[in-house]
Amino acid sequence: MSAANWAQLALLIAALAIACPLLGRYLAAVFGDGPAPGDRWICTAERVVLRAMRVDPEREQRWNAYALSVLAFSLTSVLGLYLLQRIQGLLPLDNGGHGAVAPSVAWNTAVSFVTNTNWQSYSGESTMSHLTQMAGLAVQNFVSAGVGLCVAVALIRGLSRARVDTIGNFWVDLVRGTFRVLLPIATAAALVMSAAGVIQNLGGGTTVTTLEGARQVIPGGPVASQEAIKQLGTNGGGFFNANSMHPFENPNGFTNLLQIFLLLLIPFALTFAFGRMVGDRKQGYVVAAAMVILLGVGVGLTTWAELDGSPKLDGLGVTQDHGSTQAGGNLEGKELRFGAAGCGIYAPATTATSTGAVNCAHDSLTPVGGGVAMFNMMLGEVAPGGVGAGLYGMLIFVLTAVFIAGLMVGRTPEYLGKRIQAGEIKLVVLYILFVPLVVLGFAAVAAVTGSGLSGRLNPGPHGLSEIVYAYTSAGNNNGSAFGGLTVTSTWYQTTLGLSMLVGRFFLIIPALAISGSLVRKQKIPPSAGTFPTGTPLFTGLLVGVVVIVVGLTYFPILALGPIVEQLGL
């Protein structure tokens, strides 16, 4: 990498190292039982909203009531967003005269944004009105991230509380997370992005005459405000079809660095909040360290692969080295203002979280780079994962590692003083199996049927990778894609939508059920036979469990796709 790339990476690490512990302390105060910063100013607004919703903030919920609240809110959100898209032509701010969104696209988009996937089978600038972008998609960017945050906090309460039945109130948690966390940070980020060159207006397209004499329409819109929460809420998607490759969304190196910072900020900060809320900061450090190790390996492999380029070009005598006259590396599908190294950092960060935004074409990554992006999502996006979803996903793996460690020392597994018994392990197994079932099941059918193969651009291993990537992205609520696959058919619209729903709600329900089971248990003091979980040894065990579980599940399909493709070079 160039000196500028190293400096950018160092600045990113330093910024996260400073900001995440501070934000973690704030999150612990916001969702804890004591006073929180901003109570004097924000509590009044929160009380007004909760009163309008007829919610008693002092009344907490059992896990099943909490889960039903999540499902009811999400179902209402899907129906509301679907309706907004279908009638957008009758509403104001349809500057481009887009008209109603097609039923299948509207349904797929509604499911996608409510599940925090933000998979887009359309071009945003030519399909959605400004009102739909602001009142529909941007709003879901806030509240879908808020739902993930609520579930993570509920699971933390299940681990920290003892001998009670409740894990909090979903509606209170959602309002607090939105008002106190997401809105303030996103507002500040939007102002910075707008000052740095990301467009923000309510105008329609501007018609200009090019140097060749042709006429071209330059689109406008409220981009900076949506871009900020798109990254902060690990939502992904984009105002424009080109996503963060578009110069109106991501104009320069500063905005590129800011976007990576935003999408990693809350997931890593939650690990510090977790340590504080359970009363043992070492537990938060262990989870954070495991996430850093997995993400660091992904960044290293992708950056090396993209800077190394294609061996076939080396065989033709074409140099791909960085120099004064060229950026170097695999530049297919890359924006020259970011280069291969910029993509090597951004692509792992966006697939290791549930963001799915792209600053380069993932379909044009080297087989190793594309394979790492797929594997990051197959991990369940726990390194560090989406807002909330990354933490509760990693805690599921923590319980798995504790169970294995308990078997190793020959006693009932314990974590934070709670015994992990058969009921919790059954729920953990369901959590781990649901997504691979839909990803591998739908991909297998698509790979052997006309409906699935008709959308594939490339034959052979890369064509298989395009199909598997799509279902992996949908099932893990990521939203990025290998652009060579056309997904506008009824088959893909339907099955990808089902994958998004399973990947979101079939994981939230077991996570909340585990919380409800643990919160009723009495804490047991540690003894000589207790396996310590706040140590580097447990960090290594946790990383090993994540890699082994995911490897056993997905290695065959990775071998048939990116691994075979790389060997073919």
Kindly state the average pLDDT of the residues 38-47. 80
pLDDT of residue 409: 77
Predicted local distance difference test score (pLDDT) of residue 300: 95
pLDDT average, residue stretch 53-66: 94
Residues 6+ apart with CB under 8 A from 459: none
Domain ranges of the chain: 3-207+216-567
Using DSSP bridges, classify how beta strands 414-415 and 206-209 pair: parallel, antiparallel or unpaired: unpaired
pLDDT tens string 345-399: 999 999 999 998 999 999 999 999 999 999 999 999 899 999 999 999 999 999 9
pTM greater than the 0.75 cutoff: yes
Residue in 408, 411, 394, 355 with CA at minimum distance from that of residue 524: 411
The DSSP H or E segment spanning 209 is: strand 206-209
Q: Residue 479 and residue 354: Cα distance in Å, rounded?
A: 8
Quick: pLDDT tens for 327-338: 778 888 898 888
* Per-residue model confidence (pLDDT) at position 533: 92
* Mean pLDDT of all residues in 168-187: 95
Q: Are 253 and 337 in contact (CB under 8 A)?
A: yes
Answer whether residue 475 shows pLDDT above 90. yes
Confidence band for 33, pLDDT divided at 50, 70 and 90: confident
Asked if residue 248 has pLDDT above 70, the reply is yes
Residue 156 tokens read as 């933390």
The answer on pLDDT for 272 being more than 80 is yes
Q: Smallest Cα–Cα separation from 355: which of 259, 251, 490? A: 259
Percentage of the residues of the chain whose pLDDT score is greater than 90: 69
- pLDDT category, 22, cuts 50, 70, 90? very high
pLDDT at 544: 96
Inter-residue contact 359 to 245 (CB < 8 Å): yes
State the residue for tokens 């996006």. Answer: 381
pLDDT confidence of 323, banded at 50, 70, 90?
A: low
- 168 token code pair: 């909090």
Mean pLDDT of the chain: 91
Q: Which of 1-5, 143-147, 220-224 shows the lowest per-residue confidence on average (mean pLDDT)?
A: 1-5
- At position 405, the amino acid (one-letter code) is A
Question: How, if at all, do strands 414-415 and 418-419 pair?
Answer: antiparallel
Residue in the structure block whose two tokens are 């612990």: 28
For residue 207, the cross-strand partners are 217
Residue 445: its pLDDT value, please?
A: 96
Q: What is the pLDDT of residue 171?
A: 96
Q: Per mean pLDDT, which range of 138-152, 188-202, 233-247 is the poorest?
A: 233-247
Task: Read off the DSSP letter of residue 9.
Answer: H
Q: pLDDT band at 219, cuts 50/70/90? A: confident
pLDDT of residue 324: 61
For 88-146, write each residue's pLDDT tens digit: 989 988 876 788 998 988 998 999 999 999 988 887 778 898 999 999 999 999 999 99
**pLDDT attached to residue 555:** 94
